Amino acid sequence: MTTDTDRALSPVPLMQLATGFWAFKTLAAAHELDLFSRLSGTAGTTAGELAEALAIEDRPADMLLTGCAALGLLVKNDSRYVNSPIAEEFLVRGTPYYFGGFVQMLDQRLYPGWGRLTEAIRTNRPTTWDPDKQSSLFEGEDPRLLAVFWEAMHSLSTFTARALGRAVDLSGARRLLDVGGGSAAYDIELCRLYPGLTATVYDLPKVADIAAGKVEEAGLAGRIGTVAGDFFADSALPDGHDTILLSMIMHDWAEDRCRAILRKCWAALPSGGQVIIAELLVNDERTGPPAAALMSLNMLVETEGRNYTPAEYGAWLADLGFHDVRTVWFEAAGANGAVIGRKP
């Protein structure tokens, strides 16, 4: 028997899911062809002009421009296509918040790995690298690709840090330890938001060097320092901090290693100190949100970890003795919330 609900159903949502890669590959191809950098600061292009510039036929040039306009990456003024504001801000090489490296990393590294997602599900092993032959997921990766990836991650983290700093009141914090702090984007933004705050970036030596350069560029070398180390290999975290930040770190690791990180945080914090875990959190019901759930599958393709729930983080913190555990939600590209615990 056919019901009204059956008649109301449509395959349109499935079509949107099934063809989602069309949009990504349009963006990736346009970036690879340097379309947005070519158009920046110009009066735009027609399909014929783009075809000539790229030495391609008019047909694909027209289709690429149409596709990018449909996705909001280009705007058409009369017969000429120009960058949309979001493309001009994030997809032009050399701009402060250039995001193209992330697109490039997704296209060259993660897209092939996701093509083997069923294999990752069946084997519970990453597909972008071989743990039996490589010591880390980035061992053997093209250094040029890693460089542009770090720039893109700095852009992503900058905007996420601003959202975190507005959602979580750090006015009472004085010394922040950013564990696995990457390029120091969080520290730079949080120190800008909170003039009384100083910070330390603690990361692997090569990454700490990147952070030091970014801190110098930001003019905050007097307030943000770097310490090279390994939070698994080192016996203890740097001490003397009242707040420890773990941002986009925990999802890389299995539960036992996450708990090991938190034990070191507990040992390093003084009484009254707090730990902040900022992540794309899966809800406690394990039904979403989509960004966190799909990022979790990305961790299957890339790492031993997954995206955890507030309840899981809360239980691990409580097991260590943290009190006043709470979750603060916000909206950003890199994270959607923070789980916070305080050491009595």
Give catalytic residues, as residue numbers.
Answer: 251
Sheet of strand 175-179: strand arrangement: 224-228, 198-203, 175-179, 243-247, 274-279, 337-342, 323-329
Beta-carbon contacts of residue 231 (< 8 Å; ≥ 6 apart): 179, 180, 202, 237, 261, 264
d(CA 2, CA 9): 11
Tokens encoding 310: 């507030």
Cα–Cα separations (whole angstroms), residue 195 to 28, 65, 158, 189, 228: 39, 45, 17, 10, 25
Find tokens 């340097």 and name the residue.
Answer: 34
**Region label for 94, one of left (φ > 0), alpha (ψ between -120 and 50) or beta (otherwise):** left
SS3 of residue 265 by DSSP: helix
Tokens encoding 100: 């193209």
d(CA 238, CA 236): 7
Tokens encoding 209: 């060097």
